[in-house]
Structure formats: structure tokens, C-alpha cells
Structure 1
Amino acid sequence: MDHENCRFIKTDTQIPRPLLFFPKCSPQEIRIRIPRSIVACEFYAIANGCQRIFEEKDGITDIGNQTILNPSNTSFMNLFINGVLQPHANYTVEKGKLKLNTVDTPIKGTPIILQMFII
């Protein structure tokens, strides 16, 4: 190997330590406002394989009375089909009714979960 064209770093040079500034934090925590309470409601159903519209009577009754709230009274909603969050374009909600806007229907035994939040 040709060492004439190589540049060597001097080993006797010392690199200065970096200068670090740490921010000064206040030891006290100050809260300006109290968080709001949130009401969460769920509608649980099991698909029968050919159903695109789910009503309150289709909900699982083992866990209590199933209701589908009026969307104008809720802050936001999430629909899960087989545990997968669905885009809002895939469904429409009315008071007491959930309608799937997709071409295909969920296969028999698929869990349908509609979350409704009121803030």
C-alpha cells in the first residue's frame, strides 16, 4: 500500500469536551384546568354472514342492553370489524342503527364493535 498519499491524524492532539447546557426545570407542577370527563358507550354484535344493517336488537344481550346513540349527540365514533378499525366512509350511524356501506358483508361470527364517545 502506498503510504505517501495517506494523511495521518496526530495522536497527540486532544479534542476538547463538548459544552452542554441543561435547561432549568421548575420543581413544581402547575395544572391550569381539570380534564373533562368522557362517557364511552359500546355496541357489540356478531355478524350472521349476510347482514349489512345492525340494529339495537342485534346486539349481544349477555352483556346488558345494547344501544346505538344518535351521532349528533356524540363527539366521535369508531367502528371495529374483526378487531380492525374501519374508515368512516365504510359505515353510517343513525340513532338505533348501524349501516355498513361496503360491497361485501362480514363473514358469519365476525365481531362488530361500535365505540361512541361523549366529551
Structure 2
Amino acid sequence: MRNALFLLALTGAAVTAPASAQLAAQPSLVVLTVDLDLTSANGRARLDQRIARAVREVCGHPSDADAEGRSKVRECRDATLAAISEQRAIAIAAAERPVRLAGSQ
């Protein structure tokens, strides 16, 4: 997708399930980029804010009293950020490519 990034939560619990069940069980979100100028530092910062918000939503929020849950959420967030880093880089590179127009005469 050129104008959006797709986030998929990567949780350790889903690793033991069959591949088709993993995709169905993992929450996901789309982060829109079409309204951002990814050639600017401000646009990239806003993208990073959207990604961070989406990662928090996809991976959840454990109770402060649940140490194991906090650990799993931290692992999910780290894995999801690592997984989306390539999509982020591709979106920024696509925005920085010049558009070539050819006249028709």
C-alpha cells in the first residue's frame, strides 16, 4: 500500500497456532499516510506518532499489577515496531521520489 501502513500485532501466544488462525486472531490497524508530507521532518514525526498510537492500540494496555502482561505487551510493541519499520521506510522513500511528467504532443 502506498498511502497506508499496515500494522499487525506479533504476539508470542499466536506463534503456536496454525498460520490461518494466527492471521485471524491477531489484531491489526491501518495507518493512513495520504495526508502527510513524508518528505518533511514534521510529516515523518506525525507518521511516527500515528504508528506509536496504533501500536499501543494493537498490542493493548495491561494492568500495572500484571508484570507478565506488561512484559508481553512490551514484546508485542517491540516486534510490531520492528515489523513495520520496513513499510515506514518504503513509504518515506516513495514520497521522496520525484514525479516525472511527460507531455503528450
Return the TM-score normalized by structure 2.
Answer: 0.25
* Higher radius of gyration, 1 or 2: 1
The structure where strand makes up a greater share of residues is: 1
Return the TM-score normalized by structure 1.
Answer: 0.23
